[in-house]
Amino acid sequence: MESRNNIYALVVAGGSGTRMGSKIPKQFLSLNGREMIEWSVHKFDSNSRVDRVIVLVPEQWIAHTDSLFYDRSEVLVTAGGETRNDTVINGLKLIDERYGIDDDTVVLVHDAARPLVTADLIDRTIDSMKENDAATVAMASTDSIAISENGKTIDSCPDRDTIFMIQTPQAFKAKLFRKLYRSKSQESRAKLTESTRLFAENGYKVGIIEGESRNMKVTHPGDIQILEMIYRNSGGKRK
Amino acid sequence: MESRNNIYALVVAGGSGTRMGSKIPKQFLSLNGREMIEWSVHKFDSNSRVDRVIVLVPEQWIAHTDSLFYDRSEVLVTAGGETRNDTVINGLKLIDERYGIDDDTVVLVHDAARPLVTADLIDRTIDSMKENDAATVAMASTDSIAISENGKTIDSCPDRDTIFMIQTPQAFKAKLFRKLYRSKSQESRAKLTESTRLFAENGYKVGIIEGESRNMKVTHPGDIQILEMIYRNSGGKRK
């Protein structure tokens, strides 16, 4: 991490909306002896093209997260925001304050709950920024989908082979994201459940990078066991 | 199953497109001591409103499937077709030959690979046919989705809260389905990866019945273990 590539990774681990309560947020649960967030951060931290990794966690988890990365000067920890993109904005703010953001600054955004992301997938995401202003990893859907405004009856059904399930990493130009996001109303911001839609809606080309099953997001109780199986069967850390 | 309700269930276990090869198709794999397809068929077979259950399997699996249901006169086994809806058509043909299909005949279609469907979900699907010509079980999506024609760049992103992942059971009027399906070109038939889209595209109201996580489809290697866990933690057969 000596040279400056102007590429930063945001590892997103739940905005402040994540309630701690009695339960530990999933990104802090153990997977093969390390907290899930450690695996996710490590994947970006060990990529020589990534300058810094910003880890965004709920306010009350900052101290704990700091302790996980206490000896890694290239890993910064800060608080997430209310929504996914508010969290991204908080990450950009920190980058801007510390290192400055210019027209070419690229950020990668990754869900901490996708700990089995591969080095290859991160490389392909970075590479795709040569041709695009934004890009996202996504998987072709194996399920049929219906669109319904009222949730009661079907409005339309897109062809299954045109449907892509959005994963992470995503990559985009930081300055452009901030400009586009600022121009949006509160209402249209609320509809952005990820970051690349903002670019697509404004006419920018958003590249699709073919995802991998092992990059699945931990959502359901059984998912951690599945990831542990995948991890063990695939050569583990070397990927 | 004495009275005639004019409701039939098609349990769809892979068309002839399923290659046997060295691997056993998933619907014949064991789940809690019974083949997955047995659980799926039982759920419909034990519903007093369902007249007959038609099980559609690849040609080379008919003998085996017959042996599973040898003592159940209300369960019929026949060959599936090339595509999902060709399989449905084969089921309707059998119903028509044996019992006749009229304007009110309702068919339920269910994936054999969703063995943890509940009696309640089947009941709600049947009930929804009071108000609709077609209906499908579906789950609100937790993932963001992109639409892309070329698979390389994003065309658009529907609002996440309007996206529903289609499950089964589905229900619809048999005669109407046959009529609509026959009117379609080979090309537009190929785009129908499930059955209710045909109704939606022709302006018919298609009801959405809220799905259940336990009704997940077995797709990946680890899914059977997950289903076994869910089964054991939820009172098993009594559901």
- Dump pLDDT digits (tens) for B125-145: 999 999 999 999 999 998 999
pLDDT at site B105: 97
A123 CB neighbour count, 10 Å cutoff? 12
pLDDT at site A22: 41
Which whole number is the average pLDDT over B17-24?
Answer: 50
Q: Tell which residue, A131, A102, A101, A137, has the closest CA to residue A118.
A: A137
Helices (H), chain A: 36-45, 62-68, 84-99, 119-128, 174-182, 186-190, 196-201, 223-233
> Do A136 and B146 count as a contact with CB atoms less than 8 A apart?
yes
Contact present, B227 and B218 (Cβ < 8 Å): yes
Structure tokens at A1: 């991490």
Report pLDDT digits (tens) over A21-69.
447 888 998 998 999 999 999 999 999 999 999 999 999 999 999 999 9
- Percent of chain B clearing pLDDT 90 (strictly above): 79
- CATH number attached to the domain at A7-233: 3.90.550.10
Query: Is the CB of residue A196 less than 8 Å away from at least one CB of chain B?
Result: yes
pLDDT range class, residue B20, cuts 50, 70, 90? very low
> Most A CBs within 10 Å: which of B144, B216, B234, as the mutation test of the A interface?
B144
- Hey, what are B238's tokens? 């009594």
Mean pLDDT, residues B146-160: 97
pLDDT at A2 over 50: no
Of B164, B191, B201, the CB nearest to A148: B164
Lowest mean pLDDT among A84-93, A143-152, A171-180, B12-21: B12-21
C-alpha span between A117 and A213 (Å, rounded): 10
What pLDDT is attached to residue A234? 79
Nearest Cβ partner of B165 from A145, A153, A166?
A: A145
| For residues B147-164, average pLDDT | 96
pLDDT the model gives residue B237: 67
A152 → closest Cβ in B158, B191, B207: B207
Dump pLDDT digits (tens) for B35-52. Answer: 999 999 999 999 999 999
Cross-chain Cβ contact B136/A146 below 8 Å: yes
A·B CB contacts under 8 A: 135
- pLDDT per residue as tens digits for the range A107-139: 999 999 999 999 999 999 999 999 999 999 999
- Mean pLDDT across B180-192: 94
Q: Which of A111, A131, A143, A210 to mutate to test the interface with B (most CBs of B within 10 A)?
A: A143
pLDDT digit string, tens, across residues A209-234: 999 988 989 887 678 878 888 888 87
Tokens of A3: 């040279």
Residues whose CB falls within 8 Å of the CB of residue A192, separated by 6 or more in sequence, listed in order:
A83, A84, A85, A184, A198
The answer to whether the CB atoms of B200 and A165 lie below 8 A apart is no
Distance CA A216, CA B158 (A): 21
Task: Please identify among residues 133-172 of chain A the ones whose CB lies closer than 8 Å to any CB of chain B.
Answer: 136, 138, 140-149, 151-166
Q: Which of residues 216-235 of B touch A (CB under 8 A)?
A: 217, 219-220, 222, 225-226, 229
**Structural domain boundaries of chain A?**
7-233
CA distance B143 to B163: 9
Between CA A76 and CA A90 the distance in angstroms is: 12
Q: What is the dihedral of CA B70, B71, B76, B78, to 10 degrees?
A: 0
C-alpha to C-alpha distance for B139 and A60, rounded to whole angstroms: 33
* Region B80-104 average pLDDT: 96
Please tell me the predicted confidence (pLDDT) of residue A239: 67
